Structure 1
Amino acid sequence: MNQIQSVHNKLIKIITTLQSKKGREEQNQFLAEGIRTCQTLLDSPLQFINLYTTEKMFSEAKKIADEKYIIVVSDAVMKKLSPSTTPSGVLGVFAIPAKKIPSVLKAGLVLAHVSDPGNMGTLIRSAIAFGFPQIIIVEGCDPWSPKAIQATAGTIGFAEIVHLTWSDLKNHQQRPPLAALVPTGGIAINQISKNILLIVGNEAHGIPAPWLKECVYLITLPMPGKIESLNAAIAGSIALYLSISQ
């Protein structure tokens, strides 16, 4: 059994840096917390590095990973490693896939300036659920942050995350039409083709006006109730579902 008891261990110090974007970029790795999230990631194509667990959770950890990849740590070490205030006792480390720009962009989701990791993770999870594994991110928060990973419930392991600038996206030679999700003034999604790139914008400010002018479609969800707008993750998820329900 591999064990680490000291919070001053060199490896522990390195893994702790994965809580920050800088650390993730330097190590090209990310953290995932919890048995279910780690199990989903282990079932995905992502490269698995190690699983850290407390002695109390060791028997559960052995159910999802080979013992040679498991490192048992003290409660103090787990508290240092975990980005959560109440650690689950199981923490996985996985490799971040290399960034690349596909020659063909597929119909699916574009997250433009989405700043909340919970919303980003939820939208990634919805995109995977509805059959849109290629997800384009234009600026915004880091999809590999612990909060975003938690919100995806590990389904990010089945996603193809593509980072593009707006210029790269709009000028890409092989992509579907751009369709922006807006609170008001757009058409219903069932009036257009399924083959679109659905753009969900920033939670507070939406999609920048110059970008909206470069979209082929503006889409608005019909809301007969007395609500002005929905949370970005909810609105985007509904729009994704409607796009496959036509």
Structure 2
Amino acid sequence: MERIESVKNPKVKQWKKLHTKKERENTGTFIIEGFHLVEEALKNKEMIKILIVSEEISLPHTWNVDNISITFVTKDVMKAISDTEAPQGVAAICEFQTTYTPEKWTKVLLLDSVQDPGNLGTIIRTADAAGIDGVILGEGTVDHFNSKVIRSSQGSLFHLPIVKGSLDEWLNVYKNNNIPVYGTSLQNGVSYKEVPEADRFCLLLGNEGSGVNKDLLDQATKNLYIPIYGGAESLNVAIAAGILLYHLRK
């Protein structure tokens, strides 16, 4: 066990940098904070590199922290590495997982340029609840290790495989595996209710303002829309994800 008292400690400075995408990608690590998120991460212990605990905090006796490196810090250090107004006193440095096999997935969610962290986190949480095999993030989609995404996901990114990749390439993979690809668009689309539930499908959702890129929609087996019965112009993309995922999956 280690104890750090100074906010100027090199490790503290490096941990603070993990709030930037560049540092996360350079180190292959990301930071989480709060009891709930750390507890969820402990269910996948190999991801945790360092557990950081404020000196006045007692860890729950139900947590299995065997073989995990623990660093105790002062309140000032915890506040320095936190991006919340009221740190709970526990955080962790976690490592990226790279052992996923998206080519084997049969219930897949593809996201094209979803930019709002809250939306992405909610979509990940919803996909986890719906039992989707995994999520593929296309170009322009916010980094799923962004702290706001992590908080909105409520820890689901520790349960659900998430990868970044070319949506063009993955659409070809799934179509070649005879998995139907459903785009989301009013243009040349049909009501989602016309599509039966299935145990194999690929759902493609797009940007909050402009929707899915037309070149990607052109590759879809069928495009779906959700009817609007009231005066709203459109549905939030995370709400749409919930409706469609729960309708499509068997």
In structure 2, the partner of 1:215 is 220
Distance 1:62 1:5 in 2: 25
* Per-residue deviation, residues 117-161 of structure 1 (Å, max 9, x unmatched): 111111111111110031111121101111111111111111111
Residues 1:235 and 2:219 aligned together: no
Contact 1:181/1:236 (8 A) holds in 2 = no
Q: Classify 1:121/1:176 alpha carbon distance in 2 versus 1 (closer, same or farther; 3 Å).
A: same
Counterparts of 1:96-175 in structure 2, within 5 Å, are: 96-98=96-98, 102-139=102-139, 140-172=141-173, 173-174=176-177
1:210 positional shift: 2.0
Counterparts of 1:42-53 in structure 2, within 5 Å, are: 42-44=42-44, 46-53=46-53
Residues 1:190 and 2:193 aligned together: yes
Percent of aligned pairs with the same amino acid: 29
What amino acid does structure 2 have at the position aligned with 1:199?
Answer: L
* Per-residue deviation, residues 70-109 of structure 1 (Å, max 9, x unmatched): 3221122112111223322221211111276633342221
Contact 1:45/1:157 (8 A) holds in 2 = no
In structure 1, the gaps of 5 or more residues are none
Off by >4 Å, runs of 4+ in structure 1? none
1:175 positional shift: 5.9
Q: Superposition RMSD on alpha carbons, in Å?
A: 2.2
SS of match in other structure, 2:8? coil
Number of corresponding residues? 244
In structure 2, the partner of 1:181 is 184
Distance 1:236 1:112 in 2: 13
1:189 positional shift: 2.3
Distance 1:215 1:31 in 2: 36
Distance 1:124 1:216 in 2: 24
1:222 positional shift: 2.5
Q: Classify 1:98/1:113 alpha carbon distance in 2 versus 1 (closer, same or farther; 3 Å).
A: same
Structure-1-length-normalised TM-score: 0.89
Contact 1:104/1:174 (8 A) holds in 2 = no
Distance 2:235 2:119 in 1: 12
What amino acid does structure 2 have at the position aligned with 1:242?
Answer: H
Distance 2:44 2:122 in 1: 18
Structure-2-length-normalised TM-score: 0.88
1:208 positional shift: 1.3
Query: Which stretch of the first structure deviates more once superposed, 223-232 or 188-197?
Result: 188-197
In structure 2, the gaps of 5 or more residues are none
1:182 positional shift: 2.7
Residues 1:225 and 2:230 aligned together: yes
In structure 1, the partner of 2:90 is 90
Distance 1:51 1:83 in 2: 17
Contact 2:181/2:220 (8 A) holds in 1 = yes
Query: Which stretch of the first structure deviates more once superposed, 18-27 or 74-83?
Result: 74-83
Contact 1:119/1:233 (8 A) holds in 2 = yes
In structure 2, the partner of 1:11 is 11
